[in-house]
């Protein structure tokens, strides 16, 4: 069995799953968003852990299934459609290219910073998974959010990272960019924005 336990890191609270008895803990709040653990785990979580033991799932830095549902205290849906400028749409999708970047080959550090970026933007993190490629050291990963996702693919040999940030509701994905830039220190950042799920007038 697994339980949810609290573990602090230097740049804020993080949630990890550990062996032991099951239990319920309170969420760790962020400046805008939050982590949202409960005492219940997805069945998929057990499947992922079984696959990891067989070597079929990367554990760099971790495979975590954090929640079955959103926290009970967060009853209002956070992924609602947005109404802005006379338009109703699902959410804002940023395609961000970091050029002449550094720190592109450390999956744990990238995971931590992308989680911080998600919380800063006001999102609720459900789980994350990152893979470290060899021999070039590239990293691919995804942060699954209640409001959609953040994904990344890095090419250290090209000093390049491609990041997708898709968020619905009240989240502001633009707030995630300065957080990531602190890590990547990119010489050039290119951002393309799309409004996804635009309803017909």
Q: Which domain range does residue 158 map to?
A: 82-195
Task: Give the pLDDT confidence score for residue 38 in this predicted structure.
Answer: 36
Task: Give the pLDDT confidence score for residue 22 in this predicted structure.
Answer: 37
**Catalytic annotation present for 128:** no
Question: Of 1-15, 47-61, 72-86, 184-198, which one has max mean pLDDT?
Answer: 184-198
For the residues 159-183, what does the mean pLDDT come to?
Answer: 97
127, 129, 132, 148: the active-site residue: 148
List pLDDT tens digits, range 172-198. 999 999 999 999 999 999 999 999 999
DSSP state of 119: H
153, 171, 174, 176: the active-site residue: 153
Please report where in the chains the tokens 């250290």 appear, as a residue.
156
Higher pLDDT: 179 or 13? It is 179
pLDDT bracket for residue 164 (50, 70, 90): very high
142, pLDDT greater than 60: yes
For the residues 24-42, what does the mean pLDDT come to?
Answer: 41
Residue 53 lies in a domain: no
36, 115, 168, 171: the active-site residue: 168
Q: Which CATH number belongs to the domain containing residue 95 in this structure?
A: 3.60.90.10
Task: Give the pLDDT confidence score for residue 137 in this predicted structure.
Answer: 95
For the residues 81-104, what does the mean pLDDT come to?
Answer: 94
Cβ 187 vs Cβ 166: under 8 Å: no
**Catalytic annotation present for 153:** yes
Higher pLDDT: 80 or 51? It is 80
Task: Give the pLDDT confidence score for residue 43 in this predicted structure.
Answer: 35
**Catalytic annotation present for 148:** yes
For the residues 97-121, what does the mean pLDDT come to?
Answer: 97
Residue 146 lies in a domain: yes
Residue 111 lies in a domain: yes
For the residues 121-137, what does the mean pLDDT come to?
Answer: 95
Total tally of structural domains belonging to the chain: 1
CA torsion angle 139 145 149 154 (round to 10): -10
**pLDDT > 70: percent of the chain:** 60
Residue 184 lies in a domain: yes
Residue 97 lies in a domain: yes
pLDDT bracket for residue 76 (50, 70, 90): low
Specify burial of residue 113 (Cβ count, 10 A radius: 0-12, 13-18, 19+). buried
Residue 162 lies in a domain: yes
Look up residue 115 and give its two tokens.
Answer: 């989680």
Residue 105 lies in a domain: yes
Residue 29 lies in a domain: no
Task: Give the pLDDT confidence score for residue 36 in this predicted structure.
Answer: 47
Task: Give the pLDDT confidence score for residue 33 in this predicted structure.
Answer: 57
Please report where in the chains the tokens 């409001």 appear, as a residue.
147
For the residues 33-62, what does the mean pLDDT come to?
Answer: 43
């Amino acid at each position: 069995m697994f339980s949810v336990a609290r573990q602090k890191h230097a740049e804020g609270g993080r949630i990890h799953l550990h062996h032991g008895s099951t239990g319920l803990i309170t969420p760790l709040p962020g400046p805008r968003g939050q982590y949202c653990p409960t005492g219940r785990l997805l069945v998929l979580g057990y499947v992922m852990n079984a696959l990891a033991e067989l070597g079929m799932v990367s554990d760099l830095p971790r495979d975590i299934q954090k929640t079955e549902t959103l926290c009970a205290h967060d009853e209002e849906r956070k992924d609602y459609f947005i109404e802005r400028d006379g338009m109703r749409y699902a959410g804002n999708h940023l395609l961000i290219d970091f050029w002449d970047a550094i720190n592109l080959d450390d999956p744990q550090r990238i995971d931590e910073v992308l989680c911080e970026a998600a919380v800063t933007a006001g999102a609720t993190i459900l789980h994350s998974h990152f893979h470290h490629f060899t021999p070039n050291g590239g990293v691919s990963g995804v942060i699954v959010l209640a409001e959609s996702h953040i994904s990344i693919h890095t090419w250290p040999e090209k000093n390049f990272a491609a990041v997708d940030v898709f968020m619905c509701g009240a989240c502001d994905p633009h707030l995630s960019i300065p957080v990531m830039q602190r890590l990547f220190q990119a010489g050039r950042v290119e951002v393309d924005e799309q409004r996804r799920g635009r309803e017909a007038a």
